[in-house]
A and B are shown apart, each in its own frame.
Chain A
Amino acid sequence: MSGNRASFWSELAQLATAVGKTMGVTLRNFLRRPVTIHYPDVKRAYPDRFRGVLALTYDRETGEENCIGCRLCEYICPPQVIAVEMLKAEKRNYAKTFTLELYACEYCELCVQVCPTDAIIMLRTVDLATADRRELLLDKDRLHELGLADEPSWATGTRLRDMQAPPRAVKA
């Protein structure tokens, strides 16, 4: 805006081209399809390994509860949201109570990682919004209910540990 006449016109031309370029980019995006997904009418596809809400599982063949009350998940949970009491029985142990405070859960998947019987898993959904926080304090029955209701993620304890462990031949 100051300086000799030639630089004024060249600056003005520069200004005009830059303005044109910027508005051109905006116009190009105007003509693109929006990326919005109309949730909850349409849900996006969650990937296989999605870390959703936690749940407890039953054994597929026998229908027994998988959880043996070993408390490994309770010890490894970083924010300590799991509380388990073991119930000793003849052939195997069970969990007497199993509470999980979902409102404080970090969804880090460490509990799933350590479970020796693949009892606790994560589901491929996070649709658990409620109006009352107490509904997010999941007890054992609710966790089993969730396990039956929704689709589980790919990750179970066995699979995660197998993925991490070096194959036996290559042990350094």
Chain B
Amino acid sequence: MAPAVRDLIAAFVLLNGVIGAVTYVTLLERKFTARMQSRIGPYRVGPHGLLQPIADALKLMMKEDVVPAMSDRWVYNLAPLAFLLPCVLVFGTIPFAPGLGLADLNIGLLFFLAVSALEIVGLFMGGWGSNNKYALLSAMRAVNQIISYDLPFIFAALIPVVLSGTLRLGGIVEAQQGGWYVAYPVIGQLGFLAYLIAMLAAENRVPFDILEAESELVAGFRVEYSGMKFALIQLAEYAHVIATSYLGALLFLGGWLGPGPSWLGAIWFTLKALAVFLLVTWVRWSFVRIRVDQILAISWKLLLPVTLTLLLAAAFVVTYQGGGGVG
């Protein structure tokens, strides 16, 4: 089979897999959250709610597509796509197991970070095109917040790069065969913590979800979207969360490394990504949110100096021990 056709089929399978996984991750979050709140999540649709995501998807597809009259048509209609594309595109670079990845680029991490930052464009298009003050306010806050937190996010993600000496995601996992980076004294734990905090903020999760602050801005930049466009935006958001969970598991928790035969690697990887996701969800459902100026203060005054220091420390340790160099 021609490699182009094979890649096309692989991409198609991956895309569908991602969409399916993302819809079921919403169910996982709902059941997990419900147990934390002394209740049961979805229960009646299918046994123990297992068909709930399908019911939700069908419902969203059947809804009327309302476009506000004075909105900027092209911007409004293209925003969900512009938001979805980067969030799904990054899945292409993640290696789920040695050799089982769509494109294990040798600048994999750079591609991931750069493309995932493009979601801001889609977000702002949604806020602007909706012709709605709430949406605009939310979009402005979002741009503020995501740009501020992308820097600590990138620096935290660069710590494993320095420690392993390669930007290739598969290479970073292979370098962890001696020990996961989260077990690296001080730098590993603090780096992982900084990565988690920056991830929360880059995903607009509580306590940093000021942009969609339900009780103030109703739904933020999504407020004027309904039906399938809303479904695409939800999909994109959750896909981004899962993608960064996978990245976190890969960078700090050893990716597909785990006991047992090597074909279990993909399963270990998924379990670790889910663990990161559940940790983030646990934090999300425990805290109230903080104000936008406090969010920015945390980013610029706390996270950025800390991650920079950690990165320098990692570089110092690597040079002192004589290993590494960027390959």
Contacts and interface: CB of A to CB of B under 8 A. Distances in A.
B301 A35 contact: no
Given A1-B301, A27-B282, 20 more contacts: A1-B297, A1-B298, A1-B302, A19-B287, A22-B286, A22-B287, A23-B286, A25-B286, A26-B285, A26-B286, A27-B36, A29-B36, A29-B37, A29-B38, A30-B36, A32-B38, A34-B40, A35-B38, A35-B39, A38-B43
B223 to A, nearest CB: 29
B38 A23 contact: no
Nearest to A33: B38
A93 B286 CA distance: 65
A36 interface: yes
B283 interface: yes
Nearest to A24: B286
A26 B40 CA distance: 15
Interface string A6-44: 000000000000010011011101101111101000000
By size class, the interface of chain B is: 10 to 19
A33 B282 CA distance: 18
B40 A36 contact: yes
11 contacts: A22-B286, A29-B36, A30-B35, A30-B36, A32-B38, A33-B38, A34-B35, A34-B38, A34-B39, A36-B38, A38-B43
Which among B36, B37, B283, B302 has the highest number of chain A CB atoms within 10 Å? B36
Nearest to B32: A30
Interface residues of A, number: 16
A159 B39 CA distance: 39
B118 to A, nearest CB: 31
Contacts of A1: 297-298, 301-302
Given A1-B297, A38-B43, A26 B36 contact: yes
B34 interface: yes
Nearest to B279: A23
Contacts of B37: 29
A30 B287 CA distance: 15
Q: What 8 A-B pairs come out closest when comparing CB atoms? A: A26-B286, A30-B36, A36-B40, A36-B39, A34-B39, A22-B286, A34-B40, A26-B36
A2 B34 CA distance: 38
Nearest to A22: B286
Contacts of A36: 38-40
Contacts of A35: 38-39
A26 B34 CA distance: 11
Contacts of B282: 23, 26-27
B274 to A, nearest CB: 16
Interface in B20-47: 34-40, 43
Contacts of B298: 1
B283 A23 contact: yes
A110 to B, nearest CB: 36
A53 B91 CA distance: 57
A38 to B, nearest CB: 7
A19 B286 CA distance: 9
Which among B38, B282, B285 has the highest number of chain A CB atoms within 10 Å? B38
